[in-house]
Chains A and B, each alone.
Chain A
Amino acid sequence: MNEQDNHIVTTKTFAAVWIALLMLTAITVSVAKMHLGAFSAFTAIAIASAKAGLVLWYFMHLKYEKRLLKFLLLVPILTLAVIIGLTFVDVWYR
Chain B
Amino acid sequence: METNFYNTPGKHKGILAWVLSTDHKRIGLLYLSCMTAFFLTGMTLGLLMRLELIAPGRTLMAASTYNALFTLHGVIMIFLFIIPGIPAALGNFMLPLQIGAQDVSFPRLNLMSWWFYIIGAAVAITSLFTGGGAPDTGWTFYVPYSIRTGTNVSLAVFGVFLMGISSTLTGLNFVTTIHRLRAPGMSWFRMPLFVWSIYATGWVQLLATPVIAITLLMLMAERFFGIGFFDPAKGGDPILFEHLFWIYSHPAVYIMILPAMGAVSEIIPVFARRTIFGYKAIAFSSLGIALFGYLVWGHHMFTSGMSDEARMIFSLLTFLVAVPSGIKVFNWVASLYKGSIRLDTPFLYIMAFIFLFSIGGLTGLVQGALATNVHVHGTYFIVAHFHYVMFGGTVFAFIAALHYWFPKMSGRMYHEGRARIAALALFIGFNTLYFPMFVLGWQGMPRRYYDYLPHYQPLHVVSTVGSWILATGILLMLYNLFRSLRTGEKAGDNPWGGTTLEWKTSSPPPVENFEKIPEVTTGPYHYQ
- In the complex, the answer to whether B239 meets A90 with C-beta atoms within 8 Å is yes
Does B515 sit within 8 A of A, measured CB to CB? no
- In the complex, the answer to whether A93 meets B298 with C-beta atoms within 8 Å is no
- In the complex, the answer to whether A83 meets B294 with C-beta atoms within 8 Å is yes
B305-317 CB mask vs A (1 if < 8 Å, else 0) is: 1111110011000
Q: What is the bound-complex CA distance between A89 and B239, given in angstroms?
A: 13
- In the complex, the answer to whether B243 meets A87 with C-beta atoms within 8 Å is yes
Interface residues of B in 191-216 (CB under 8 A from A): 207, 211
The answer to whether A89 and B294 touch (CB under 8 A), given A79-B207, A83-B247, A94-B307, is: no
Does B370 sit within 8 A of A, measured CB to CB? no
Please indicate the chain B residues that have their CB under 8 angstroms from the CB of A76 in the complex: 207
- Extra 12 A-B pairs, beta carbons < 8 Å, given A76-B207, A86-B295, A94-B305: A75-B207, A79-B207, A82-B294, A83-B247, A83-B294, A86-B310, A86-B314, A89-B313, A90-B239, A90-B309, A90-B310, A91-B307
Q: What is the bound-complex CA distance between A37 and B483, given in angstroms?
A: 67
- In the complex, the answer to whether A90 meets B294 with C-beta atoms within 8 Å is no
Partner of A90, one of B207, B211, B295, B306: B306
Nearest A residue to B247 by beta-carbon distance? Answer: A83
Does A92 sit within 8 A of B, measured CB to CB? yes
Please indicate the chain B residues that have their CB under 8 angstroms from the CB of A93 in the complex: 307-310
Give the B-binding residues of A (Cβ under 8 A): 75-76, 79, 82-83, 86-87, 89-94
Please indicate the chain A residues that have their CB under 8 angstroms from the CB of B314 in the complex: 86
- In the complex, the answer to whether B295 meets A82 with C-beta atoms within 8 Å is yes
For the complex formed, measure the closest distance between the CB of B242 and the CB atoms of chain A, giving whole angstroms: 10
- In the complex, the answer to whether A90 meets B307 with C-beta atoms within 8 Å is yes
For the complex formed, measure the closest distance between the CB of A79 and the CB atoms of chain B, giving whole angstroms: 5
Nearest A residue to B305 by beta-carbon distance? Answer: A94
Please indicate the chain B residues that have their CB under 8 angstroms from the CB of A89 in the complex: 307, 309-310, 313
B278-301 CB mask vs A (1 if < 8 Å, else 0) is: 000000000000000011001000
Please indicate the chain B residues that have their CB under 8 angstroms from the CB of A82 in the complex: 294-295
The answer to whether A86 and B207 touch (CB under 8 A), given A92-B307, A93-B307, A94-B307, is: no
For the complex formed, measure the closest distance between the CB of A68 and the CB atoms of chain B, giving whole angstroms: 11
Please indicate the chain A residues that have their CB under 8 angstroms from the CB of B239 in the complex: 90
For the complex formed, measure the closest distance between the CB of B92 and the CB atoms of chain A, giving whole angstroms: 24
Q: What is the bound-complex CA distance between A3 and B523, given in angstroms?
A: 41
Q: What is the bound-complex CA distance between A26 and B487, given in angstroms?
A: 74
- In the complex, the answer to whether B313 meets A86 with C-beta atoms within 8 Å is yes
Nearest A residue to B211 by beta-carbon distance? Answer: A83
For the complex formed, measure the closest distance between the CB of A62 and the CB atoms of chain B, giving whole angstroms: 19
Nearest B residue to A85 by beta-carbon distance? Answer: B295
Q: What is the bound-complex CA distance between A76 and B308, given in angstroms?
A: 28
For the complex of A and B, list the 8 residue pairs with the smallest distance between their C-beta atoms, beginning with the closest. Answer: A93-B307, A90-B310, A94-B307, A93-B309, A89-B310, A90-B306, A90-B307, A79-B207
Please indicate the chain A residues that have their CB under 8 angstroms from the CB of B247 in the complex: 83, 87
A and B contact pairs by CB, cutoff 8 A, 15 listed: A75-B207, A76-B207, A82-B294, A82-B295, A83-B211, A83-B247, A86-B298, A86-B313, A89-B307, A90-B243, A90-B298, A90-B309, A90-B310, A93-B309, A94-B305
Q: What is the bound-complex CA distance between A93 and B298, given in angstroms?
A: 14
For the complex formed, measure the closest distance between the CB of A66 and the CB atoms of chain B, giving whole angstroms: 15
Q: What is the bound-complex CA distance between A93 and B310, given in angstroms?
A: 8
Please indicate the chain B residues that have their CB under 8 angstroms from the CB of A86 in the complex: 295, 298, 310, 313-314
For the complex formed, measure the closest distance between the CB of B369 and the CB atoms of chain A, giving whole angstroms: 19
